[in-house]
Structures are given as structure tokens and as C-alpha cells.
Amino acid sequence: MPETAAVSIRNLSKSFDGTEVLRDVSLEVQPGEVVSILGSSGSGKSTLLRCINWLEQPDRGDIRIAGDRIGVSDTGKPMSRRELAGMRARLGMVFQGFNLWPHLSVLRNVTEAPIHVQGLSKAEADERAMALLEKVGMADKREQYPYTLSGGQKQRVAIARALAMQPKVMLFDEPTSALDPELVGEVLGVIKDLSKEGYTMVLVTHEMEFARAVSDQVVFLDKGIIIEKSHPSEFFENPKTDRVRRFLELEAPAV
Amino acid sequence: MSNWDILWSSYDVFLSGFYNTLKLFGLSAVLAFLMGSAMVFLLEGSRPRLKVPLRIFIDGMRMLPFLILAYLLYYGLPSAGIRMSAWTAGIIALVIYHGAYFAEILRGCRSTFAQGQVEAAIAQGFSQPKMFMRIILPQLILKTRGLLGNQLIILLKDTAFLVIITVRELTAAASSLSSTYFIPMEAFIVVIGFYWLISIGLELFIKMIGRFGAKRGFENA
Amino acid sequence: MDSSAWGLLIQGAWTTLWISGISIAIGVVMGLLIALLRVAKIPVLHQLLGVYISLARATPLVTLVLFIFLTAPTMGVNLNRNVAGIIALTLNTTAFNAEIWRSAFNNFSKEQREAALAIGMTPWVYFRRIMLPQITITSLPGLVNEMSFLIKGSPAIAVIGVVDLTRVTNRISAVTYDPLPPILAAAVLYMLIISLLVWLQRLAERKASRLAV
Ligand SMILES: Nc1ncnc2c1ncn2[C@@H]1O[C@H](COP(=O)(O)OP(=O)(O)O)[C@@H](O)[C@H]1O
Ligand SMILES: [Mg+2]
């Protein structure tokens, strides 16, 4: 019997103001797998990621997290806010713009949801948070406030914050695109460590080399349609479509 | 006896006036702030149902003198069969009126808020009320502390209007002492001193919040 | 409400308007003078004016009106109610206006002064022709906003028996035994006055923001 997919997307479609941004997208992510989503700007990558945790509501199709449907309850009705919050807590999301909460210290950014959403005691949450801050190399900055941190440090805290909910799946939306080039490495390093530890991850990125190194599967979106879905070696060395070939030439000039 | 001795002999009148003013102020400040925050909470979400009525209410209050609202509650409503004591009418007027101002201050700041932080909270499974209480409201307070402090001082001063609808507060105390003993100068100097003290206290309180905010990189609004 | 009630109401509105109007006019000019004195940082005077501003901003208008009206006779001055009201409103609004003017002075760029003196303007000409016009434009939104606050505070003069737009409602209901209609009508008139000021404030803001560019 096959394992239940960590994320299973079937026939997903989504329009904004009558323009179809995602068209009939289907995708399975197995537990422990790292899937990279590539595509040029405006192709619908963020929208796809945001549909997975229902920050955007799809028009058609269904999305399951470890077998449970998100957004629609068993009775077929839209999920209540509470049910939806419960599902979202199983997904960790890391944004391009970090989105840390500026009024909270690094440590409190990480413990906020475990304490106030999951109901952990402060001591338990602190312990969990410190272990994660250790992992992303930010433990010594735990008492600082976000405005004092560099972009790379902020993003590492944001990753720890997402991990603190012990999500089944981590979603990354261009986690390094807002960073100065010299800070990209520290964040990619953390993500790479997570992949080695067996985290299930869906990653939107423009870092081709990185996607190639960490992914088990690469998905290429073009105008809201998945036009390639393959193993990275296949994808980068032997693209099936001209569209991808042209994309790779533009993104990764002469290695 | 000098005028000051006369005043000293009736210090209990001042104290009870001072106490009443503090009570009026404290109670309505807390309730008005809660009401203002609640209104901003009701304006959350992409298409809040109460947007239009709340907008009308807030703008309406901001175009009225406080005393007219107190008049309406105390003198006007009895003709509609609603009767309340001057004290109750006064508190309700303070809460409604300043609640609208607090709402406007917070709403103005809320509309400049980066959406990303809110999404980060939603993505972590926060419910709307919890997110508002823990993520949005604390930042609104830090960012608008200067305006909130001004509004608190205006609220304090508006409590004095209630002497006109017969509430026994601090200004009423000065007024009654000065007419009993014909020593208006001394009586009012003491009372103005009291108001000044409370205002300075409020300013210190806002400065304290300011330090709290500066540590987090919030510059004053 | 019959026509005589409306007549009284309009009279009340007129009283509110002219008393506030005089206080505003004096308050804007006095505010400017005090701001100038404060900017000059003359020892003692600077501190004294600071205390005045702090006190005036903390004192409720009602308290100030009563204070002036009741204290004047003990010093041998018999004040007419209207004059007492005007003095109180003026003392109050001047303090707020002084701070508005002062912040405009403090935010004014120093380079313009150097440029003006370099082409041979005297300091007085520079102040009158270059600085003041710009500072007036940047202060105007704040000053108009303060005018709204003054109108909203003006019912304080009712406490010494001036029959303004608020107090006139007592007069009317003493005859009609129904206070609700005159109070609502007064509320509407206040809204008209304030919305006019809000509209003026928007115009002033637009003008000020053009200057900022
Ligand atoms: N909330 C929204 N409202 C309207 N249009 C949107 C919204 N979000 C995204 N879009 C549009 O959908 C398309 C896909 O956007 P997005 O998923 O952000 O692309 P990508 O992340 O691949 O750059 C773009 O044309 C974008 O303008
Ligand atoms: Mg995107």
C-alpha cells in the first residue's frame, strides 16, 4: 500500500478577476520529499503555495494535507475558521519578506504560536524554541528585536518560527529573494540542513543550483500550468520542453 | 484665618472631587479604549459588514462637541423615556465619544499595516481575535502612543464638562468652595494643579510606553 | 420646534461663532508671537512660557472659564460674561497654536536662511518675505484642526451663563418641555460648522503638501 502523500493537490484552478492564474494543477509531495517549484515571475508559484494553506481559496480542485482535506470539511461545507486554523497549524510557511512580528523578541516570535495557538506552557515552548534557534544559529540573539537583525538573520528566525509548530510540511516562498547576495548562503544552508533531516518541503526559488542540489522533484509552472515535473537531474540536464530550456538558459547562464 | 487655611479646612471636598474625577477618568478611559479597539476589530477582514455604520458613527462623533452628547444623554433621552443619573450619563457620554476617537486613531494606523505580518499569523493558525489581541493591537498601541496620550488628556479635560450636567467632580468642588467662601482664586489654583498633575502623570506613562517601543524599533507616531 | 425656537437656535449658533471667531483670531497671532519668543530661547521667559503652555494644555476649558469669570471680580475687575469666555478660549487656543507654530519653525530648513542672507536680504526681510509665508502654509492644517477643537470646546462658556449653541437648548426646552429636538438641531448645526472646518483643513493640507515637494 502506498504511503499517504504529505501534500496532495488535485485539479487545482484559481482565477483573479477573471484571469486564470492556476489551471488544473495536480501535484503529490511524499513525506520527506523536497519539491522545488520553478517558473518565471507571475507564473502562479506564490498563488499555488498560498492555496496549500488556504491563504488563497482555490476555485476548483482539492488539497489534502496528510490525507485530510483543507478548506472543506467532511460534510462538504467550507471549514469553520477554527478547523481551518487547525489545518494551517500543520503547515509552516516562510515568506519572502520574513514577516516577523516587530513588537516581539526573537524568542517570543518563535514561541508565540506554540503558546497561544497550540496551548503549550511557556517553559515547554521556550525549550522547543531554543532548540530550533540553536539549529538555525540564532540562539544567542534570542532577546533581540527584529529591527536589529540582518535580512538573513530575520529569515532564519522566521524559519525557526515556522518549525516551532512542528508542521508536517514546510512551505517556502522565495525565502532568499529579498536578501543581499552575501546573505543568501546562510539561509540556504539552514534549508539544506532541514532537507537532510527529512523535513517535507515545498520550495519556490530562483536559486537554480540550490534547487538542483536539494530537490527530489522539480516542478515548472508556466502561466499557471505545470509543464514539467521531473527529477532534478532530468530537469536540468534534459528538459523536455523548449520553454524550460529557454528558462534555464536565462536563469543560469553558462555554468 | 488666611484664605489658604480656609481651603485646607475643607480639603475633604477637594479630595472627594479629585477622587470622583479620577474615577470618571479611569473608568471611561479603560472602557473607551476597549470600545475603540473593539470597533477596529470589527473592521478587520476584507469586507467587514459594519464598515459603513461604524464609519458614520466615528465621523459623527468627531464632528460633535462633547457637551452636546452629554446633553443628549442627560437632558434629551428622558423625552424618549430613557432616564439615567448624571453620573451614568456622564460616563456613557465619555465612553462613546472617546471610544470613537480611539477607534479613529487605531484605524488610521491599522490601515498602514503591512499585510505580511497578518498573513504570517494566519498561516500559524491564529484565530482572528487572538491575532488581533496579540499581534495587531500591541503594535497599534506602540505606534500611536503619542496620539493616544493626547486623547487621554482630552478625555481628562472633558470630565470637567460634566459639572454642567451636575456631576460632582473636581471642577464642581472648586466651584462650590469658591461660592461658599468667596475664595475662587485659591480654590481654582488647587484644582488646576490637580489637573496638571494628572496630565503630567499621563505624559510620563506615555514616555514609558515610548521606551518600551523604542527598544523594539518603533519610532514615535 | 417652531420658528421662534429656530430663531433662538440661530442666535445661539451666532454667539458660538463670534466668540470662537474672536478667540481664534487672537489665538493664532498670539500663538505666533509666543512661538517666536520660545524659538528665541530667552532665559526665564522661555521657561515661563513653557509653564504657561503646559498648564493651559492641561486645564479643562470649563475650569478655565470659571476661574477667570469668578476670580476677576476679586481683583477688582468686573468682566462681562462674553469677555470672560473670550479670554478663556483665547488662553487655551493660544497655547496649542504656539506649539503648532513652533514645530513649523523647528522643521524649517536652515539653508534657505543662508541663501537669503547671501544675496543681501536683511534678517527681517528674510523672515517676512521668505520664512513666514512658508511657515504659515505648513502650519495651516494644524491651526485649522485646532479651530475645530476650539469650537468643540466652546460650549464650556455655557457654564458661566453665556447662551451659546449648547446652552440655548435649555432655553428652548424651558418653553417647549421637550429638550430632544433642540439638542438634535444644535448637534446638526455643530456638525455643519465642524465639517466646514474639516473641509478647509483638507484644502490646507493639499496646499501644504504641495509646498513639501
Ligand atoms: N490577490 C491577488 N489579486 C489579483 N491578482 C493576483 C493576486 N495575487 C496574485 N495575482 C496575480 O496572479 C498572477 C500570479 O501571481 P503569483 O502567484 O504571485 O506569481 P509568482 O509567485 O509566480 O510570481 C500574477 O499575474 C499576479 O498579478
Ligand atoms: Mg511570488
- C92 at interface of B, judged by CB pairs closer than 8 A: no
Query: Mind listing the pLDDT tens digit for each residue in A73-84?
Result: 888 899 998 899
Alpha carbon distance A28, A25 (integer Å): 10
Cβ burial of C11 (10 Å; 0-12, 13-18, 19+) is middle
Q: Is residue C168 part of a domain?
A: no
Question: What is the pLDDT averaged over residues A101-130?
Answer: 96
Determine contact: A91 vs chain B, CB below 8 A: yes
Q: Are strands A34-38 and A200-204 parallel, antiparallel or unpaired?
A: parallel
Domain count along chain A: 1
Q: How confident is the model over C10-20, as a mean pLDDT?
A: 97
C170 in any annotated domain = no
pLDDT score, position B119: 93
pLDDT in tens, A166-192: 999 999 999 999 999 999 999 999 999
Q: Is it the case that residue B5 has pLDDT exceeding 90?
A: no
**Ligand 2 centroid, distance to A45 Cα (angstroms):** 6
Which of B188, B190, B197 is most worth mutating to test chain C (most C CB atoms within 10 A of its CB)? Answer: B188
How far from the centroid of its chain's Cα atoms is residue C20's Cα? 7
In angstroms, the CA A202 to CA A52 distance is 10
Answer yes or no: are the C-beta atoms of B177 and B7 closer than 8 Å.
Answer: yes
Dist. CA A60–CA A42, nearest whole Å = 20
Helix, strand, or coil here: C41?
Answer: coil
Residue among A12, A21, A36, A93 to mutate when testing ligand 1 (max atoms within 8 A of CB) = A21
Q: Is residue A2 part of a domain?
A: no
ipTM of the complex: 0.93
Q: What is the pLDDT of residue B180?
A: 82
Report the range of poorest mean pLDDT among A178-192, A239-253, B11-25. Answer: A239-253
Cβ-in-10-Å burial (0-12, 13-18, 19+) of C38 comes to buried
The amino acid at C14? W
Distance of CA A35 to the CA centre of its chain: 9
Is B93 exposed, middle or buried (CB count within 10 Å of its CB: 0-12, 13-18, 19+)?
Answer: buried
**pLDDT > 70 in chain B, percent:** 99
pLDDT confidence bin for C115, thresholds 50/70/90: confident
C58, B195 Cβ separation under 8 angstroms: yes
Tell me the residue length of chain A.
255
Q: What is the mean pLDDT of chain A?
A: 93
C-alpha–C-alpha distance, residues B160 and B66, integer Å:
11
CA neighbor of A169 nearest in space, from A13, A4, A33, A10: A33
Say how many CB pairs under 8 Å bridge A and B.
79
Nearest to B29 by CA among B94, B83, B88, B77: B94
Ligand nearest to the CA of A17: 1
Residue C117 is assigned to a structural domain of this protein: yes
Share of residues in chain B with pLDDT > 90 (%):
73
CATH number at B3-214: 1.10.3720.10
Reading the block at residue C90, the C-alpha cell is 483665547
Closest-CA residue to B66 (of B109, B24, B126): B24
pLDDT of residue C117: 84
pLDDT over threshold 70, residue B199: yes
The alpha carbon of A47 and the centre of ligand 2 are apart by a number of angstroms equal to: 7
Nearest to A169 by CA among A2, A26, A28, A72: A28
On whether the CB atoms of residues C34 and C93 are closer than 8 A, the answer is no
Average pLDDT for B54-65: 96
Are the C-beta atoms of residues C98 and C35 closer than 8 Å to each other? yes
pTM of the model: 0.92
Q: According to the model, what pLDDT value does residue A53 have?
A: 92
Q: Which residue, judged by its Cα, is nearest atom 17 of ligand 1?
A: A44
Q: Is residue A55 part of a domain?
A: no
Q: B45 pLDDT band (50/70/90 cuts)?
A: confident
Helices (H), chain C: 3-40, 45-58, 61-74, 81-106, 111-118, 123-125, 132-153, 168-176, 180-212
Total number of domains constituting chain C: 1
Here the CATH number for the domain that contains residue C66 is: 1.10.3720.10
What are the domain boundaries of chain B?
A: 3-214
Q: Whose CA is nearest to atom 10 of ligand 1?
A: A16
**Cell matching residue A1:** 500500500
Per-residue model confidence (pLDDT) at position C10? 95
Residue B98: exposed, middle, or buried by beta-carbon count in 10 A (0-12, 13-18, 19+)?
Answer: buried
Question: Which residues constitute the domain of residue C35?
Answer: 17-162+199-209
DSSP conformational letter for A164:
T
Closest CA to C166 of C13, C3, C64: C13
Q: What is the CATH number of the domain that holds A139?
A: 3.40.50.300
Place of cell 493616544: B148
Q: What is the pLDDT of residues C83-109, one digit of tens each?
A: 999 999 999 999 999 999 999 999 888
Q: Which residue matches cell numbers 530648513?
A: C109
Angle B53-B159-B147 from CA coordinates, rounded to 5°: 60
Residue B11, pLDDT score: 86
DSSP string, C125-151: HIIIIIIHHHHHHHHHHHHHHHHHHHH
Would A107 be classed as within a structural domain? yes
On whether the CB atoms of residues C153 and C135 are closer than 8 A, the answer is no
Closest residue, chain A, to B119 (C-alpha)? A55
Mean per-residue pLDDT of chain C:
93
pLDDT of residue A2: 62
**Structural domain that includes position A129:** 7-16+34-43+62-251
